[in-house]
């Protein structure tokens, strides 16, 4: 329990309230770190000294008593996402003026940040794909193809390959250290033969009517490349193909402000849903669909179809 020290008259002063808030959030941050480690240990992704396991499990059970009922796949995705968010926050606090997370070369940090993106796959499949007639069926065809712009360490590409077992996935990125890890991750995966990783700027990508679904990682695409990149993606989609512009988001003003800050640190432009929709229309997309912040993730989607 957090105790608020009050002024002599019994009413908390501004500094009292600040101390109380920091104490509360520090406890929450430490709890989050412990929960993430416990989840990682349960999923087999994190090795821990034996002495740490019991207190971490106690904390995890206190937060979520029914962890045993969660399948390994979702458990791993949630743990990776939480760890990624925590690492980003700690990195910002320690080095506020350093460039985006994808300028780092530490493989542990890159894997943690990248693996969190795997949770986006089911959200796209469940919340975006059903909005477009025939898209789900098309993604089940033997020649289905998905484009992942900003593939990072390959976690989302691998998730797409799992969700759509007949589809091929082409992943683009310009950060070679991340692509090196992506190649290792893909090589260990059963879908390795269906995933093609390329060191390529989306603004220079050249393909025509080759894909059915495209993921566009908005927070990691520099402003000068967004519009040209979206036009390139439109050209690369088959008629009826859909692009999903992914952005950071949050359901409250505080969460939205944090999302904007995260976007700036990632190197991309801060855009509202309406501004993203306008960019999509200018690139030649229609049937614009906005999937707000209530997706169970710190993200939001704006999608568009190539129907003309």
Q: What is the DSSP string of 90-101?
A: HHHHH-TTS--G
Q: How far apart are CA 29 and CA 239, in angstroms?
A: 46
pLDDT category of residue 8 using cuts at 50, 70 and 90: low
pLDDT category of residue 202 using cuts at 50, 70 and 90: very high
pTM greater than the 0.95 cutoff: no
In this prediction, residues 109-121 reach a mean pLDDT of 80
Summarize the chain as % helix, strand, coil (round to 5): 55, 15, 30
Residue 74 pLDDT more than 80?
no
In this prediction, residues 58-84 reach a mean pLDDT of 80
* Main-chain dihedrals φ then ψ at residue 244, nearest 5 degrees: -115, 110
pLDDT for the residue numbered 96:
78
Structure tokens at 211: 């894909």
Side by side, which strands form the sheet with 299-305? Answer: 195-199, 168-173, 145-149, 211-217, 237-248, 299-305, 286-291
DSSP state of 2: P
The full set of domains in the chain, from first to last, is 14-114 (no CATH), 117-305 (3.40.50.150)
Which has the closest alpha carbon to 262: 18, 38, 85, 106? 85
pLDDT category of residue 308 using cuts at 50, 70 and 90: low
Q: What is the dihedral of CA 57, 60, 65, 69, to 10 degrees?
A: -80
pLDDT category of residue 2 using cuts at 50, 70 and 90: very low
pLDDT category of residue 156 using cuts at 50, 70 and 90: very high
Highest mean pLDDT among 21-25, 214-218, 265-269: 214-218
* Main-chain dihedrals φ then ψ at residue 59, nearest 5 degrees: -65, -45
């Amino acid at each position: 329990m957090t105790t608020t020290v009050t002024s002599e008259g019994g009413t908390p002063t501004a500094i009292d309230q600040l101390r109380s808030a920091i104490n509360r959030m520090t406890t929450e941050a430490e709890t989050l770190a412990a929960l993430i480690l416990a989840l990682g240990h349960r999923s087999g992704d994190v090795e821990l000294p034996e002495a740490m396991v019991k207190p971490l499990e106690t904390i995890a059970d206190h937060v979520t008593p029914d962890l045993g009922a969660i399948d390994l796949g979702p458990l791993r995705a949630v743990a990776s996402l939480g760890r990624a968010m925590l690492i980003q926050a700690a990195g910002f606090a320690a080095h506020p003026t350093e460039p985006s997370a994808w300028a780092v070369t530490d493989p542990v940090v890159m894997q943690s940040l990248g693996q969190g993106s795997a949770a986006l796959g089911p959200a796209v499949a469940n919340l975006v794909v059903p909005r477009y007639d025939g898209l789900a069926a098309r993604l089940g065809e033997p020649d289905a193809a998905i484009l992942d712009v900003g593939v990072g360490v390959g976690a989302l590409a691998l998730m797409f390959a799992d969700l759509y077992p007949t589809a091929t996935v082409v992943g683009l990125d310009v950060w070679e250290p991340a692509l090196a890890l992506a190649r290792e991750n893909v090589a260990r995966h059963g879908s390795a033969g269906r995933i093609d990783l390329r060191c390529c700027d989306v603004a220079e990508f050249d393909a025509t009517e080759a894909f059915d679904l495209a993921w566009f990682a908005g927070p990691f695409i520099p402003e000068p490349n967004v519009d040209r990149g979206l036009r390139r993606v439109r050209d690369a989609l088959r008629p009826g193909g859909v692009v999903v512009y992914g952005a950071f988001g949050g359901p409250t003003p505080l969460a939205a402000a944090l999302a904007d800050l995260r976007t700036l640190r990632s190197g991309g432009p801060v855009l509202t849903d309406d501004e993203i929709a306008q960019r999509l229309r200018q690139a030649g997309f229609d049937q614009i669909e906005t999937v707000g912040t209530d997706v169970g993730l710190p993200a939001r989607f704006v999608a568009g179809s190539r129907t003309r």
